[in-house]
Amino acid sequence: MNVPEFNLFHRDLLPASPCRTYREQILVILVAVVILAAGWYITLRYLAAARTEQAALAGTYQALRGELEAGMANARLAADLRQRQELVAQLKGQAWSPYLARLRELAGGTGVALRGITLQKGGLTVKVAAPGLKAAVPFLHSLGRETPFREYKLLDITAAGRDGQAGMPGEYLELTVEIQPGTSAGGSGNAQAAPGQDGQG
């Protein structure tokens, strides 16, 4: 019977070499570093691609927004132009010029200052500054006695402070009057009433 030879110095029976242990540890560390670096690289690539896509989407959004705003602005301009054309045709039929002159005469005769006259479709809006009710009431009465001003509507009356431009001392009243003449100012085939006349006779 053959007895296996026992070798006390066989490599499997010897303790691990310190150099071999260090090499394994270094190899494990290098593998871990490579895995971490690959992970960071993939993450950074993904973030860069996401930022690029986000920038492209933002640019597309801004371009679409600019086109939409431009389209809305063009639509508003077209609507305003159409309204002005309709207003010009209406004003030609109603011949507002003499009435505007008469309105200035009424304001000057009652001591109020015209702030602005806004022509609108179907009528006009007048803003006046009066030094007090003693001047505002006669102005409104004078409007009610003449055509087409008699069909006025007092929209607003507010108390304001000092006004150097209009020359109103101290506090004054600001009135907003809307005049919708209907057929009183002409343009419907009826005879026009001259400014300063009642137009009822």
**Predicted pLDDT at 89:** 60
What are 117's strand-pairing partners? 126
Domain residue spans in the chain? 16-94, 95-179
Q: What is the reported pLDDT for 117?
A: 78
- Predicted confidence at residue 129, as pLDDT, reads 87
CA triple 173-99-128, angle to 5 deg: 10
Q: What whole-number distance in Å separates Cα of residue 158 and Cα of residue 34?
A: 79
Q: How many CB atoms lie within 10 A of CB 34?
A: 10
- Looking at residue 183, what is its pLDDT? 40
Q: What is the DSSP letter of 147?
A: T
Give the phi and the psi of residue 174 in degrees, each rounded to 5: -115, 120
CATH class of 95-179: alpha beta
pLDDT of residue 190: 34
Check residue 200 and report its DSSP letter.
-
In contact, 110 and 137? CB cutoff 8 Å: no
Residue 173: per-residue pLDDT: 82
What residues of the chain score a pLDDT lower than 50? 8, 163-167, 182-201
